[in-house]
Structure 1
Amino acid sequence: MNYKFIALTIITILLASCSQSPDVNLISKHSIGLLTDSTQIKDLQLVFPNDSIVKLSESNEFTNTINDIEIYENSGKKLLTLTPKKTFDSTSTIKSIQIHGEHFKTAKGLNSKSTFKSIKDNYKISSIQNTLKNIMVSVNEINAFFTIDKDELPAELRFDMNLKIEAIQIPDEAKIKGFYMQWY
């Protein structure tokens, strides 16, 4: 009698776990929803069946060829900008992603509308780079980096590109300007 109850309980648990679908808005080290670091360009329509996929191709004598792919909701809101590892190759995988849609979140709740406080409270900051107009905050734990506009920083940190900026100098309320993932 007890064996039947235990067997029935195990079967119920197995069936319940099989019916759970993956979170299509979860950002992890190797995926954003159903998009993974092994997804090929030719399979994007399967990953985003209800969204619009726009392939941008541009080349001129001053720049390399740009082969970005933008993903839009049907309402026209931009969700993601994807950069393939190889240009004009449908079997290529994704090299980098800019996350525009705020509904994409990490397991710790970080999204494109978060603040610096969300980054530092939830992740180990790997590095901070000082550029002309932004700072780049890298988090290797999730293969991500974030840009923060220097206008969000105190005045004494905005203009010297050689200045080493530490996490403690960045205000908690500094808004994320860009949320990027890199898959190597």
Structure 2
Amino acid sequence: MKKILLAGLFAGMLVTSCSKENPFQVTATQVGPLTKETPVSDLKTVFANDSVVDQNSGLSEELNINAIEIYEKGGKQLLSLMPVKEGEPKTIRTVQIFDPRYTTEAGINLNSTFKDLTDAYEISRIETLISSVVVFVDDINAYFTIDRKELQGELRFDMEAKVTEAEIPDAAKIKYFMIGW
């Protein structure tokens, strides 16, 4: 009887530990504990163990600079959040990820390469900017920025050139990882 009870207790603990949510999981609808429905007013509760730096006051609000930054205790930046400007309650519009622990279900994070990204997801579109290329993945509401320095030959310097998926090297590193709702 004791063995059955111990086996049941062990199985219960195993199920509980396996079902705990990954605090750094990125999906189309969440970044860690955040969702697009998370009110800005709840951020200090959601990130109770971290520092929430809200720059939405005084001059920054007048200039429309409204980033909310999340730092781990100890100073490492985790996220930068841009709230929706209109409506109540205010929620999050975009999330910039600074910590490579934030990872998609397919294993994509800030340490991934372009090949990792294309192996995991279908690229929706690519936009060429002056100093970077932005790769959109609509399946997870994400976009990834790759520095032009990662491109080959003339594409590095030709600001007019439209970069295609085939022209981005497999080894190109992701510079920025953002989720937009």
Taking structure 1 as the reference length, the TM-score comes to: 0.84
**CA displacement, residues 66-87 of structure 1 (integer Å, 9 cap, x when unaligned):** 1110000001000000000027
Is the deviation greater in 48-57 or in 15-24?
15-24
The Cα shift of 1:159 comes to 2.3
CA RMSD, aligned part only? 2.4
Counterpart of 1:33, as a letter, is G
2:85 and 2:16 map into 1 onto residues whose CA distance is 36
Deviation above 6 Å: which 4+ runs of structure 1? Answer: 12-16
Paired letter, 2:110? S
Partner in structure 2 of residue 127 of structure 1:
125
How far the C-alpha of 1:59 sits from its partner, in A, is 5.5
| 1:9-88 mapped onto 2 (5 Å cutoff) | 20-57=19-56, 58=60, 64-86=63-85
Between the aligned partners of 1:29 and 1:99, the Cα distance in structure 2 is 14
Cα distance 1:90–1:43, how it changes in 2: closer, same or farther (>3 A)? farther
Q: Could you tell me which residue of structure 2 aligns to residue 173 of structure 1?
A: 171
Q: 3-state SS of the aligned residue for 2:70? A: strand
Q: Rate the CA distance shift 1:91–1:59 in 2: closer, same or farther, 3 A.
A: closer
Q: Higher helix fraction: Structure 1 or Structure 2?
A: 2
Gaps of 5+ in 1: 1-8
What fraction of aligned residue pairs are identical, expressed as a percent? 41
Shift of 1:162: 2.8
* Structure 1 residue 109, shift from structure 2 partner: 0.7
Structure 2 residue matching 1:117: 3-state secondary structure? helix
What letter corresponds to residue 29 of structure 1 in structure 2?
A
Matched AA of 2:36: D
User: How much has 1:158 moved relative to structure 2?
Assistant: 1.7
Contact 1:152 1:171 survives alignment (8 Å): yes
User: What amino acid maps onto 2:157 in structure 1?
Assistant: F
User: C-alpha displacement at 1:91, in angstroms?
Assistant: 2.2
Separation (CA, whole Å) in 1 of partners of 2:14 and 2:151: 49
User: Where in structure 2 are the equivalents of 1:88-167 lying within 5 Å?
Assistant: 91-167=89-165
Give the secondary structure class of the aligned counterpart of 2:134.
strand
The code of the aligned residue for 1:34 comes to P
